[in-house]
Amino acid sequence: MQVVSTVGLRSDKSLTSRNLRKTTMTTHNYTSRVLDIVLQLKADRTKRPEDFRFSDIFDDEGNQYVNLVQEGGGVHGIALVGFTYVLEEMGIRFLSLGGTSAGSINTLLMADTGHPSSRKSLKIIEKIADKNFMDFVDGGSDARAFVKSLAEGISPMLFLNASRNASEMINNLGVNPGVEFHRWLSGLLFHKSWGELENNIRCLEKELIMMDNHGNERRRLSAEELGIKIAIVAADITTQTKVDFPDMADLYYENPMGQNPADFVRASMSIPFFFEPVRADLSWVNKSDEATRKNWVDRANYHGELPGEVLFVDGGVMSNFPIDLFHKEDQIPNRPTIGIKLGADRRASKPTTGITSFVGNIFDGVRNLRDHEFLVQNPEYKELIEHINVDDFNWLDFAISDADKLRLFERGAEAAASFLRRFQWLDYKNQIRNSLLQSVKPLMWELSGSKGLTEKLASFGIHEDSRLMKRIRHLRERADAYKVLWIDDAFTYGLPVAILDSLNIFTYTVQNSDDARALLLHKNRKNGPETERINLILSDVTRNVEGKKDRIAGIRFAEELAHNQRLKDVPVLLYAHSGEDLLARYRGYEKDDTLELPHNIKNHPKGDTTKHFVFIREVVDCIYENLPGKRAGCV
């Protein structure tokens, strides 16, 4: 049984400020503030519809789907809602969602409010429009005085009020218990467990459409194929781990799918000293179990003794803008991951004018370091990021006025309009494609000679595999490259093709079974040259067939080849699937649990060919075992 610190902690509700002011804010106050921005965007779209393409994923109503990552920033989070509101008004919907601190709050509310196809921002505005954020300052009158001095930046009063809260900081590690925030957020949620929430974000009323660059339908995609997920980032300061909830929740909670989603957000927004950290009891964990220890090493990179309890603080301490959450290497994405940053871009210095700005600048530098490093290594992501100018608002001003709430919302809307006018999706994809082509050149050079092959293969996770190296050297001895036919109607795998090229394997690429069949019959014709033969077929599993998506098209094609006397011995590898996955899919779609895969499908039962070392092994083995005198199938 685990305990979350937001439950049952001290709370002096008699001292909160819930009754100190009366507000009458409604959604109309917010939407009317940005009406002109939305109307102008829609007018621009009518004039130049080609400039408002933002994704390859659409629904039948014409909405476009993207991923979204939102930065943390205290009360600046109101601006995030302004940003997402404008995107939704322009027909953009959200699939995978991620965020830290304030960004995690909006992330959770968006995931909880309706299915992916529905508008969410208006309902979220309803939840925050009339909310007095000082209610969250639930540490009593001294805590409120401390927050006020923080917001006003008055150094003498700040020190005085900090001293009055010293006992809370020392004993509880924060001046506010955070109970009121947890109670408020829990009360807003429709889905009271993480399992319910995950089911909701994957609930598509219809399969979504993947479009080509010209706006033609290529195929339809299910929620499973789209890989929809949610990620909330917190900082485990006990084991020094950046935690991605819910993916890592089972390390900390015995029943992660039954956990209240508000627990994870409360952990993510635990601003150090401002809110008490969230505590997770690990007494339920068998700390001597070898599998448990390995799990922590593999997923958290933690090698020490497991503690009895861990403390979570604001995820921004380790990653305030986790734009890498949905990053996939070596692929051209079918939708962008838009990132919203709270604060101006790093084009101006941040002056230090007093103790408040001094501490704030230190904290900002530390919490943004890791994310800046990722952007340096992946410069193309800068095209996906929009900065909301909130530098003239204090992120800890929980007593923020209604007028400033509206200004923050408007700033978010203005930033969204700027993003929609400048971002060109098709240009961005071309940039990724060119980057992939550039990145594969060093790889081709790196693997170009057998000298140092051990070190080169080690870079792909292959260590001390003398059998594989012997087979690679054998393949490279032939003057003419071996031939692979790759069938994929959405071909995006530049790096795997470069790997094949570096191993003396030439790749033909086609997009459908008809073209593949014609090429095979020609290249593998009777009495044809051995050096022209296609030695291996690589194929996707799902393809459009006669305008309809066939989720076992690759298996059906392999089955057809297995009954062709001339082509039955050509091995087939279905990319990105294990043998077990393929068999389950085949039996499921054919509704026959007695079926076996065609004999020419050579995927290892548990192999994942998206991993480069598995891909190399399976390809090399299949080609080697299909050489003259060895055509008995793959190892």
* Active site positions, annotated: 101, 314
Give which of 563, 567, 553, 460 is closest to 522, Cα–Cα: 567
Other beta carbons within 10 Å of 208: 28
Is 370:319 a contact under the CB 8 Å cutoff?
yes
- Euclidean distance between CA atoms 474 and 627, whole angstroms: 11
What is the Cα 314 distance to its own chain's centre? 19
Task: To the nearest 10°, report the CA torsion of 316, 370, 335, 419.
Answer: 70
Q: How do strand 337-342 and strand 64-70 relate by DSSP bridges?
A: parallel
3-state secondary structure of 19: coil
Tokens of 620: 């090399």
Could you give the angle at which helices 194-201 and 261-268 cross, rounded to 10 degrees?
A: 90
One-letter amino acid identity for 478? R
- Euclidean distance between CA atoms 488 and 535, whole angstroms: 17
Is 493:330 a contact under the CB 8 Å cutoff?
yes
| Radius of gyration (C-alpha) of the chain in whole angstroms | 28
- Euclidean distance between CA atoms 8 and 622, whole angstroms: 61
Residue 377: Cβ-neighbour burial (10 angstroms; 0-12, 13-18, 19+): exposed
Bridge partners, residue 322, by sequence = none
User: Which DSSP helix (H) or strand (E) runs through 150?
Assistant: helix 141-152
- Euclidean distance between CA atoms 554 and 209, whole angstroms: 20
- Euclidean distance between CA atoms 475 and 539, whole angstroms: 21
- Euclidean distance between CA atoms 168 and 486, whole angstroms: 64
Bridge partners, residue 243, by sequence = 234
Is 244:233 a contact under the CB 8 Å cutoff?
yes
Give which of 113, 117, 120 is closest to 60, Cα–Cα: 117
- Euclidean distance between CA atoms 377 and 217, whole angstroms: 34
- Euclidean distance between CA atoms 412 and 81, whole angstroms: 7
The region that residue 3 occupies, defined by phi over 0 for left and psi between -120 and 50 for alpha, beta otherwise, is beta
Other beta carbons within 10 Å of 614: 19
| Residue 433 φ then ψ, to 5° | -60, -45
Q: How do strand 241-245 and strand 230-236 relate by DSSP bridges?
A: antiparallel
Q: Which spans in 27-140 are helix H?
A: 27-33, 35-47, 77-89, 102-112, 121-128
Q: Compute the half-sphere exposure of residue 598: CA atoms within 13 Å on the CB side of its CA.
A: 23
- Euclidean distance between CA atoms 589 and 180, whole angstroms: 49
Give which of 268, 358, 359 is closest to 71, Cα–Cα: 268
